[in-house]
Amino acid sequence: MTPTYLDHAATTPMRRAAIEAYAEAATLAGNASSQHAQGRRARRVVEESREQIAALLGSRPSEIIFTSGGTEADNLAIKGVFLAQAQRGRKRVVISAVEHHAVLDPARWLQVHEGGEVTISPVDAAGRLDLDEFAATLRASSERTAVVSVMWANNETGTIQPIPAVVDLASRYGVPVHSDAVQAIGTQPVDFGASGLSAMTVGAHKVGGPVGVGALVARRDLPLTELTSGGGQERSVRSGTLDVAGVRAFAVALEETVRERAAEAERVAALRDRLIAGVREQVSGAQLRGVDPATDPTGRLASIANFTFAGCEGDSLLFSLDSRGICASTGSACQAGVPQASHVLLAMGIDEDTARGALRFSLGHTSTEQDVDELLAVLPEAVARARSAGLTTRANKPLTAVES
C-alpha cells in the first residue's frame, strides 16, 4: 500500500532537481572555509547559492545567514536580538499567541534565564493577531521592547498574519520585527526587502529541499549577538562548517518553488477546497479552524486545512488513519505520553476538549486529487472509530471525588 501523504506542513518530499543538486555538491571535497582550490570551489557553490536565495527572497546576499533550519534561525532571531538590545535596557519580547514553539520556547528561555519580559499578544477566533491589543502593548512598552515576532502564516491553521500592519506599528517605535516565514514561502509571494521586516526565518524542507538547512534573513544594521561561537562563519553570528550540499539543494528547491508558485498555489488551493467541502459533507461535527477560504480566499495558506472532530481524540484519529495509509498530523504536541491540546487552538478560544480532537491535513507539490479522494474514502469510518474509542475511554474512566 502506497501511503497517502497529507503532511507537507511538517516536511514536503524533496524535489528531484534538489536531490540531483545535493548529490552533485556532495562530491565536493573541500571545506567552504578552506583556502585551497577545493575549499574555494566549495565556497563558490555556497556564495552562488546565497545570491540565488537572496534574489528569490527579495534580500541582499549579505543578509542571508545560513543555519541548520528554521528552529535555529528563530532562536538566533529571538535570543540574538534580545541579547544585543538588553544592553540598552530593552528586555521585553512581544510575540503572538500562535507562534511556533521555535519562537515561544526561546522567549520563555529568556524569561527564565535572562530576566526577559515576555508579552503574548492575543489572536481572534480565526487565529489572526488582534492589532488593537498589539498596538496597545507597543504604546505601553515600546521603550523596553527588544523585538517583536509574528509569524507570516500559521503552521497549524494556515491563517495568514497582517505582517504589513505589524511592521507599520512597530516601526513607529523603532522596534525590530522578526517573522517566521517557513510555512509561507511555498505558496505566498515573500519579499523581505519590501516587507520592512528586520529579520525573517526560512527553511529548506518545506519547499522540497533537504532537512537540516535554513536561513535567517537579517538586515545588516540589526544588532545580533552570536549564539554559536567558533570559526566566525556567517557574519560571526553563526559559527560552524557550512553544509555545502544542503545549501545548494536549498537554492535549487526554492528556485523551482518560486518559479511554479502562482500556478501551484492555485492548484493546491483547489485541492484544499475539495478536501474541506468533502469533510464538511461526509463527517458530522467536523469544524474547520482558521480563516474560512469561502469568505476570505486570501486569508489562509493554500496548503493547510485544520479540523476539529467533536468527540474524538486527535491522536486516536491519527492512528486510525495511519493504519489505512493516510499520513496527517494532529494539532497537538505529545509530551511524556500525555496528549496536550494545541496552544494555537486554545489561543483562538477553543475549549481544551475540542482542541484535543484536531487534525491537520496539509498539501504540497506531490499532492493530487486521488490523495484527497483516498482521505475522504476512509475518514468517516476513522472518525466513527475514534468517537467509539473516546466513548469507551470515558465510560471506563474512574470517577473523581468531585464527579462522585
The residue among 220, 218, 219, 214 whose CA lies nearest residue 254 is 214
Q: Does residue 247 fall inside a structural domain?
A: yes
Q: Give the Cβ contact number of residue 254 at 10 Å.
A: 27
Q: Does residue 400 fall inside a structural domain?
A: no
Cα separations in angstroms, 393 against 66, 144, 313, 341: 48, 49, 10, 18
Q: What is the CATH number of the domain that holds 307?
A: 3.90.1150.10
Name residue 333's beta-bridge partners: 340
Q: Are residues 235 and 327 in the same domain?
A: no
Q: Are residues 340 and 241 in the same domain?
A: no
Q: Are residues 249 and 294 in the same domain?
A: no
How many domains, the chain?
2
* Contact yes or no for 150/100 (Cβ under 8 A): no
Span 52-73, pLDDT tens digits: 999 999 999 999 999 999 999 9
Confidence at residue 2, expressed as pLDDT on a 0 to 100 scale: 83
- Listed residues 210, 227, 256: the one ending a domain: 256
pLDDT band at 399 (very low <50, low <70, confident <90, very high): very low
Q: Does residue 51 fall inside a structural domain?
A: yes
Q: Does residue 403 fall inside a structural domain?
A: no
- Listed residues 227, 256, 285: the one ending a domain: 256
Q: How far apart are CA 270 and CA 264, in angstroms?
A: 10
Entry pTM: 0.94
Span 337-347, pLDDT tens digits: 556 899 999 99
Confidence at residue 396, expressed as pLDDT on a 0 to 100 scale: 52
Span 299-356, pLDDT tens digits: 999 999 999 999 998 999 999 999 999 999 986 555 545 568 999 999 999 999 999 9
Q: Are residues 230 and 272 in the same domain?
A: no
Q: How many Å is the Cα radius of gyration of the chain?
A: 22
* Contact yes or no for 169/138 (Cβ under 8 A): yes
Catalytic residue from among 262, 333, 334, 391: 334
Q: What is the CATH number of the domain that holds 77?
A: 3.40.640.10
Q: Does residue 404 fall inside a structural domain?
A: no
Q: Are residues 70 and 211 in the same domain?
A: yes
Q: Does residue 214 fall inside a structural domain?
A: yes
Catalytic site includes residue 327: no
Q: Are residues 136 and 269 in the same domain?
A: no
Q: Are residues 246 and 278 in the same domain?
A: no
- Find cell 536549498 and name the residue: 250
Span 23-35, pLDDT tens digits: 999 999 899 999 9
Q: Are residues 160 and 206 in the same domain?
A: yes
Q: Identify the domain containing residue 301 by its residue range.
A: 4-9+261-394
Q: Are residues 248 and 269 in the same domain?
A: no
Q: Are residues 251 and 267 in the same domain?
A: no
Q: Are residues 181 and 269 in the same domain?
A: no
- Listed residues 256, 282, 314: the one ending a domain: 256
Q: How far apart are CA 317 and CA 153, in angstroms?
A: 25
* Phi then psi dihedrals of residue 73, to 5 deg: -65, -40
Q: Does residue 38 fall inside a structural domain?
A: yes
Q: Are residues 251 and 269 in the same domain?
A: no
